[in-house]
A and B are shown apart, each in its own frame.
Chain A
Amino acid sequence: MMKKTVGLGVAASVVLAGGLAVAELREGYVYFEPSSEEHPLDEIISGREFRDDATRALQEDDFENPGFLSLEEGEELWSTVDGSENKSCESCHGDVAEGMAGVGSTYPKLMAQGGKTTLTNIENQINTCRTERMGAEAYKYDKPQLTGLTVLIKNVDRGEPVNVSTEGDYESWFKKGEELYYTRVGQLDMSCAHCHEEHYGEYIRADHLSQGQTNGFPTYRFKWQGMGSLHRRFSGCMKNIRGVPYAKGSDEFLALELYTAWRGQGLPVETPSVRN
């Protein structure tokens, strides 16, 4: 069983970063035990713990958190009829809190799509329902409608531990994601692990590096002055190392989404989170 533990602040985090990091995790930060012995990290820490008081306070306040503007847009769309079949999400799934319980925390998942079974995240699943079941057009990635519905669905599971499958038919996806995570790319010749595994807790150009966890997405980000999907963040990280990002919604990013979700297995879903 995973255990929620309260960290001891600076001293503890210096140890966990191998003594190298100028760690400044505040006292009392929350971490979780890794889900298995093979896990590369000793402590699983949400990106929230690396943000400052003001940013965390904004996330915690369900009125002030601007992510709820997006959630409310999703709420409205949930019951709006669209497409040639004259259906809304609600027609088939009923009340979102019931119909979508246990969904957001378990994605990405293998689902039927275009006649075959493939790894799907919430965004792609929404579009599958729209194109294959509603006779409606797919939403473009990161359009407010798609983000709003994704936030709505993930928020149903807020507080639930991330719990993705990695075995059986999932294994090939998982391995592919792991490989991508450790592959050096871009002119800077870096991998995700360079920053988010070896150097989390340190400052990089005035930004406090986290473990690159995914439990808060879609997130409201100050820099974007709005919402963004996990694949937008992946894309941004790849651009920062002068790499060419994969397409949002692509198999590569889906594999990476599964693998990074597993790295945060047990973290509570925070959607909509607030980041800097």
Chain B
Amino acid sequence: MKQVQFSRREAMVLGAGAATVTLLGGVTGALAATATDDAINAFTGGATPSEGKITLGAPEIAENGNTVPIDVSVESAMTDDDHVESVLVLADGNPNPGVATFHFTPMSGDATAATRIRLASTQNVVAVAKMKDGSVYMAKREVKVTIGGCGG
């Protein structure tokens, strides 16, 4: 399995490595500085996600971060040649940003999925869709988390 999560330290090491490459190769662009960006890069193989096609649903405010309903759906014909292969869901403020990766097939009929997730605090939920042709799309949504403070 591909490692898509990095501890802070590993992420920094990786960031430094990337920086070296950048200098030597003279390539410009943002460095993968956070675990979330790293996870996205690992998923997309470096392709930059575009906006659109993917919709991410999540409540604006969640009463408790332990159970936050989310759903994703991606516009696609879902044919053999043209379909959504997978959708990566990340929570950029969790100690580990990984949440889940959904894998679809033409037999899915449509690329929609819903689940319930844990959010440690107010943060962005990010969903990245990878299509059969390699193109990638991203959506992001902030969820404010009000953690139950009292009452056992």
Report the minimum CB–CB distance from A58 to chain B (whole Å): 7
- Report the nearest B residue to A232, measured CB to CB: B152
| Chain A positions within 8 Å of B147 at CB level | 206
Check B63 for interface membership: any CB of A closer than 8 A.
Answer: yes
Q: CB within 8 Å of A: which of B111-152? A: 146-152
Interface of chain B, helix or strand or loop or mixed? Answer: loop
Check B7 for interface membership: any CB of A closer than 8 A.
Answer: no
Check B17 for interface membership: any CB of A closer than 8 A.
Answer: no
- Report the nearest A residue to B69, measured CB to CB: A54
| Chain A positions within 8 Å of B64 at CB level | 222-223, 276
Q: CB within 8 Å of B: which of A41-78? A: 51-55, 58
Taking residues whose C-beta sits less than 8 angstroms from the other chain, chain B's interface range is 10 to 19
Q: A222-B64, A223-B64, A276-B64 are in contact. Are A207 and B150 (CB under 8 A)?
A: yes
Check A205 for interface membership: any CB of B closer than 8 A.
Answer: yes
Q: Is the CB of A52 within 8 A of B151?
A: no
Q: CB within 8 Å of A: which of B40-60? A: 59
Task: Determine the distance from Cα of A127 to Cα of B111 in the docked complex, in whole angstroms.
Answer: 49
B interface, CB within 8 angstroms of A: 59, 61-64, 66-69, 146-152
Task: Determine the distance from Cα of A204 to Cα of B151 in the docked complex, in whole angstroms.
Answer: 10
| Chain A positions within 8 Å of B152 at CB level | 232-233, 235-240
Report the minimum CB–CB distance from B121 to chain A (whole Å): 12
Q: Is the CB of A54 within 8 A of B59?
A: yes
Q: A54-B69, A58-B69, A276-B64 are in contact. Are A223 and B148 (CB under 8 A)?
A: yes
Q: Is the CB of A53 within 8 A of B59?
A: yes
Task: Determine the distance from Cα of A54 to Cα of B64 in the docked complex, in whole angstroms.
Answer: 10
Task: Determine the distance from Cα of A52 to Cα of B68 in the docked complex, in whole angstroms.
Answer: 12
- Among A52, A237, A239, A240, the residue within 8 A (CB) of B63 is A52
Q: Which one of A204, A207, A239 has the greatest number of beta carbons of chain B within 10 Å?
A: A207
